[in-house]
Structure 1
Amino acid sequence: MSKSSQRSPFGWSNRGGQVTVIEAPVARSHRRRAIISFWVTLGVVGLLAATVASYYLHPILGALLGVVLGAVLGAVVFALIAAWPVLRVFWHWLPEIVLGLAVVYGWTTLMQSTPLWGSLLIVALVVGVPAAIKPIRLRVMAWVWCLIVRHRLRLCFAAFIATNRHGSLPLILPAKPTPAGERVWVWLRPGLSLRDLEQDGQVQKLAVACWANEVRVMRANRKYAALIRLDITRREPLAHTIVSPLPDYVPTDIPANAPTSPGMPPVGLDLPDVPDQPATASTDAPRQRKPRNNTTNTTSPNGFDPSDYA
């Protein structure tokens, strides 16, 4: 494999020392779509705006105004479509960007409002307390794994999921931690469905890419088939030993003559104390049926004879 075709661990291609954030085919495709959208917007909006403006202004002025409005809106649409690959990269790194800005501006504000020793003390408390307290540390690490999983899924989708010719990869939505791992929402693009992820071992590839034990894929909304949910399992919370707090609520100083519920079994009963006697059948004779009196007709008109049930 040549050096120019190698791919960096972050999903960027390295060609001659240059880092390519957006692939060339994706950029050309979006540029072509942006040009087409510009001309369509210019024609439609310009014609409608010129028609409405000509009713209030001179036809020539109305036509010029329609062309200007169509060109402005077409330029906005062109910019949004052409910049969508870059906007998608910003969306993928949005939590890290926000966190970095918060750290930089927070440190700057802290240095301007407090002395150096005070700033260092506050930073030590902010960093040291979560690192020392285990529940807080585990919660912070759970959110860190959510950030890692979003990038791992994006690289996995780009690596083995078949996309259309426009390079429309799935859009990775926010993620949140769960007791077993992470839960991520994904918006599928045209050309990809939930069944494509469930077949051919794609789910196992997702688990390998996310460094997890198992990945389960399911629909997240009954209305939209494109919105799916990925449950990433990296630990088994039900397999852990959990100490029940119920014994702490049982009092230890129960008197011997304390009243008990009638439904409670006897306390201190042992199996050897129960006599081993087989149950005997009842000696009561079965109830004899009264003979039917044929001399007296007690049958009701509808055929019911009370002596049959005596």
Structure 2
Amino acid sequence: MSRNPRNQIYPANEDLPAAGSGLLARLWRIRTELLLIGALTLFVLTLLGATQQGRWWPFIMLTSAVSVPAVTRTGRNWVAAHFWCVATRHRLQKTCLETTMHTRAGRIPLVLWITPTRTGEKALVMTRAGISAAEFEAYAEEIAAACWARSANVYRHRKWAHLLIVEVVRRDELPGAASPGLARLYGHAWVALRSDLEEPPDLARPYALPQVG
């Protein structure tokens, strides 16, 4: 039996199409992976070209540019924080596919942007017609479980109801350097859907990268 009436927005006997979307939407979902593949391909081709021509300085400079950040704590923390951003984005999309947070045509909301925070990640989401922020709030526990996190909080924009923030909380707050966050895009006009969340999230607050060994 459903925890919340909003957890099942379609009749139980209704046959829905398999969740899916157009080519552009699918490419948008894997944009980070495509950029990484392109950068890696360019990196390998540059190294091969330099070594074949007997030029070793470009090889040394490029390998140093990659290896030096990897052996520093700051570099490892940056990689870990953005790894979790990519993982959270995919887990959010998977949750939409596995629940009713998609339209009758099978389209899921778009994760427009995601950034590290002091406690985890925050994702800016644009919903599709027929889906609201309240639907995400009804599935907050499923989102937290899918993202391997402690909890998930949902905030909607005061003016544009189709825009919402999903805050994934996976650790205690950590101090750190300031980050642009999402505030520069849409300001601070966010409303918490849960009564125990008194204030909208301050997206411009500084965050710390998760510490890795």
Q: After TM superposition, is the score higher than 0.5?
A: yes
Q: Deviations over 1:207-262 (max 9, x none)?
A: 0000111111101x322101000111111025x8x9xxxxxxxxxxxxxxxxxxxx
Q: Aligned residue for 2:193?
A: none
In the aligned structure 1, how far is the partner of 2:114 from the partner of 2:102? 23
Structure whose alpha-carbon radius of gyration is higher: 1
Q: Aligned residue for 1:130?
A: 69
In the aligned structure 2, how far is the partner of 1:172 from the partner of 1:163? 13
| Structure 1 contact 168–190 (Cα < 8 Å) conserved | no
- Amino acid paired to 2:33: E
Shift in Å at residue 142 of structure 1? 0.5
Q: How does 1:1-310 map to 2 (within 5 A)?
A: 85-113=22-50, 115=54, 117-118=56-57, 121-199=60-138, 202-219=139-156, 221-237=157-173
Q: Deviations over 1:55-82 (max 9, x none)?
A: xxxxxxxxxxxxxxxxxxxxxxxxxxxx
Shift in Å at residue 90 of structure 1? 0.5
Q: Deviations over 1:247-301 (max 9, x none)?
A: xxxxxxxxxxxxxxxxxxxxxxxxxxxxxxxxxxxxxxxxxxxxxxxxxxxxxxx
Shift in Å at residue 116 of structure 1? 6.9
Shift in Å at residue 121 of structure 1? 3.2
**Greater relative CO (CA pairs within 8 A, separation 6+):** 2
Q: Report the TM-score when normalising by structure 2.
A: 0.66
Q: Deviations over 1:178-214 (max 9, x none)?
A: 1211111111111111112223xx1011000001111
Shift in Å at residue 25 of structure 1? 5.1
Residues 143 and 102 of structure 1, relative CA distance in 2, 3 Å threshold? same
In the aligned structure 2, how far is the partner of 1:216 from the partner of 1:134? 29
In the aligned structure 2, how far is the partner of 1:214 from the partner of 1:231? 8
Equivalent residues, number: 159
Q: Report the TM-score when normalising by structure 1.
A: 0.46
SS in 2 for 1:150: helix
In the aligned structure 1, how far is the partner of 2:143 from the partner of 2:19? 24
SS in 1 for 2:158: coil
The percentage of counterpart residues that share the same residue type is 31
